[in-house]
């Protein structure tokens, strides 16, 4: 049976992932913080965006090709950075980088990946972006950036929405430590998931390899105190300026919700703003990321490149974000649900699902280019008050 018949949507891949990865891994991937109100808020905001269907426009041939930050991509969709990706599915970073390279989508490698930039950069090639959690020590910062550049990464993403640790209660309950330290309960969970267990044996225990060069990690820290915090400076405007001075390629600032911050970031030399509430993992009181988009677009004007993430599950969601001002969209958890379901084949399949769904909805809307989605906007729901 074809993959499309068995897993026609991301929700099918998500259900299969839940069955195939140990519970503590699922809790790491799927959770947010607090009451997890941000996840349904992100979803509801997307669902409220409706379009006018177009009829009598003849045959429509969607063109999904998208130019962004000087690079051509197959569609306006990419892979957001996910820490400890290789814990979620063995070999995840290499599998996603490979899929990104063959499919022509950007892959953003996290600072707290289980593989080194030197290993993943050559696989991702010109599709590789590197994400930086801000190290406190300027020497470590300079060293990481030099290593990323030498490994072939051209686009740098500085994540600024972690001013301190968040509680992530589900992760605490699942007893996940950094690096993962196995408890008897975890061993039992692993025993129920033979594909994950065998893959992990083959790829070796997931370790935060880049971090290990700078820190002593003994498995006694809870996962919420992850090395991003151990290394971090809670970044400020001087920090952004310092990173700007060190990086000569495109600089993206990730985790922005407030229009005034976006304006000041543009003036500080950012090349793109990544509108995100970190998928709800940091602050349960954050607004839906989608609600921030039109405000930021209105404040910053038409030319500043904007990336959006937070709850994107389909091609239609991509069009919703583009209609409200984004130029590009990213998925975080989605690619990992796909890997958990089917391994590397799952990521490839999700790319196909997104491409087909994007094209199919564009035809319904009479669009040849995704960036014209705003022309068919019907409503984006009640505007939240400030």
Ligand X SMILES: Cc1cc2nc3c(=O)[nH]c(=O)nc-3n(C[C@H](O)[C@H](O)[C@H](O)COP(=O)(O)O)c2cc1C
Residue 204 tokens, joined = 């070796």
Determine whether the annotation assigns residue 110 to a binding site: yes
254 is in an annotated binding site: yes
The least distance separating ligand X from the CB of residue 28, rounded to whole angstroms, comes to 6
Give the nearer residue to ligand X in terms of CB position, either 168 or 295. Answer: 168
Report the alpha-carbon distance of residue 314 to residue 11 in Å, rounded: 10
Closest CB 375 distance from ligand X, rounded Å: 26
C-beta of residue 86 within 8 angstroms of C-beta of residue 205: no
Q: Does 28 count as an annotated binding residue?
A: yes
Between 281 and 297, CB nearer to ligand X: 281
DSSP 232: B
Is 278 marked active-site?
Answer: yes
Q: Give the residue ranges of DSSP H helices in the chain.
A: 3-6, 10-20, 23-30, 38-47, 85-88, 92-103, 117-124, 138-150, 169-173, 184-191, 194-203, 209-212, 227-231, 237-246, 259-268, 289-300, 315-323, 333-342, 344-365
User: Of the residues 278, 336, 349, 380, which is catalytic?
Assistant: 278
**Vertex 254, ends 224 and 270: CA angle to 5°?**
145
**Closest separation in Å from C-beta 193 to ligand X:** 17
In degrees and rounded to multiples of 5, residue 234 shows phi and psi of -65, 110
Select 325 or 334, whichever has its Cβ closest to ligand X.
Answer: 334
Shortest distance, position 2 Cβ to ligand X, whole Å: 26
Nearest residue to ligand X by CB is 332
Strand partners, 328: 307
Is 173 annotated as ligand-binding?
Answer: no
Residues lying near ligand X in the complex (CB under 6 A) are found at 28-29, 80-83, 110, 112, 131, 159, 254, 276, 278-279, 281, 309-312, 331-334
Nearest to 235 by CA among 283, 166, 164, 292: 164
181 assigned binding-site residue:
no
CA atoms within 13 A on the CB side of 246: 23
Instruction: For ligand X, give the closer residue by CB, 75 or 367.
Output: 75
Report how far residue 82's alpha carbon sits from residue 98's, in angstroms, rounded to the nearest whole number.
16
Q: Is 82 annotated as a binding residue?
A: yes
- Which of 168/366 has CB closer to ligand X? 168
Q: Is 85 annotated as a binding residue?
A: no
Closest listed residue to residue 151, CA positions, set 176, 171, 125: 125
295 or 317: whose CB is closer to ligand X? 317
C-alpha–C-alpha distance, residues 145 and 151, integer Å: 10
Query: 108, exposed or middle or buried, with CB in 10 Å at 0-12, 13-18, 19+?
Result: buried
Query: Nearest Cα to 318, choosing from 46, 50, 129, 70?
Result: 46
- In the complex, least distance from residue 219 CB atom to ligand X, rounded to whole angstroms: 19
CB 88 within 8 A of CB 200: no
Pick between residue 30 and residue 366 the one whose CB is nearest to ligand X.
Answer: 30
* Annotated binding-site residue? 332: yes
Instruction: Take residue 369 and report the two structure tokens written for it.
Output: 């280019």
Report the distance separating Cα 21 and Cα 377, nearest Å: 39
The minimum distance between CB 35 and ligand X, in angstroms, equals 16
For residue 214, say whether it is annotated as part of any ligand binding site: no
Q: How far is the CB of 311 from ligand X (least distance, A)?
A: 5
Active-site residues, by number, are 278
Sequence ranges of the binding site for FMN:
81-83, 110, 131, 159, 254, 276, 332-333
Residue ranges at the known binding site: 28, 81-83, 110, 131, 133, 159, 168, 254, 276, 278, 281, 332-333
| Annotation: binding site for glyoxylate | 28, 133, 168, 278, 281
């Amino acid at each position: 049976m074809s993959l499309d018949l068995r897993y026609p949507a991301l929700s099918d891949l998500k259900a299969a992932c839940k069955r195939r990865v140990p519970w503590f891994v699922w809790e790491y991937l799927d959770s947010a913080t607090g009451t997890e109100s941000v996840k349904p808020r992100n979803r509801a905001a997307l669902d409220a965006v409706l379009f006018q269907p177009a009829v009598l426009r003849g045959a429509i041939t969607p063109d999904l090709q998208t130019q962004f930050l000087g690079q051509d991509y197959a569609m306006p969709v990419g892979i957001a950075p996910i820490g400890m990706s290789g814990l979620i599915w063995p070999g995840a970073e290499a599998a996603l980088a490979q899929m990104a390279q063959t499919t022509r989508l950007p892959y953003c490698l996290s600072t707290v990946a289980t593989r080194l930039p030197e290993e993943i950069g050559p696989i991702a090639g010109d599709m590789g972006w590197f994400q930086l959690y801000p190290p406190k020590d300027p020497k470590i910062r300079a060293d990481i950036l030099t290593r990323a550049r030498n490994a072939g990464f051209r686009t740098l993403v500085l994540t600024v929405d972690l001013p301190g640790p968040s509680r992530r209660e589900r992760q605490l309950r699942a007893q996940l430590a950094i690096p993962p330290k196995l408890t008897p309960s975890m061993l039992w969970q692993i025993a129920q998931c033979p594909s994950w267990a065998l893959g992990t044996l083959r790829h070796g225990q997931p370790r935060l390899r880049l971090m290990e060069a700078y820190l002593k990690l003994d498995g006694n820290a809870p996962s919420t105190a992850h090395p991003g915090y151990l290394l971090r400076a809670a970044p400020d405007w001087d920090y952004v300026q310092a990173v700007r001075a060190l990086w000569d390629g495109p600089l993206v600032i990730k985790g922005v919700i407030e229009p005034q911050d976006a304006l000041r970031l543009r003036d500080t030399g950012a090349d793109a703003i990544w509108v995100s509430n970190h998928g709800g993992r940091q602050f349960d009181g954050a607004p839906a990321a989608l609600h921030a988009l039109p405000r930021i677009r209105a404040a910053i004007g038409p030319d500043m490149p904007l990336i959006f993430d937070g709850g994107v599950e389909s091609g239609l969601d991509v069009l919703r974000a583009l209609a409200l001002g984004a130029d590009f969209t990213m998925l975080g958890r989605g690619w990992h649900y796909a890997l958990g379901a089917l391994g590397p084949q799952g990521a490839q399949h999700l790319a196909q699902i997104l491409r087909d769904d994007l094209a199919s909805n564009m035809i319904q809307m009479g669009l040849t280019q995704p960036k014209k989605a705003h022309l068919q906007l019907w409503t984006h729901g009640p505007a939240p008050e400030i």
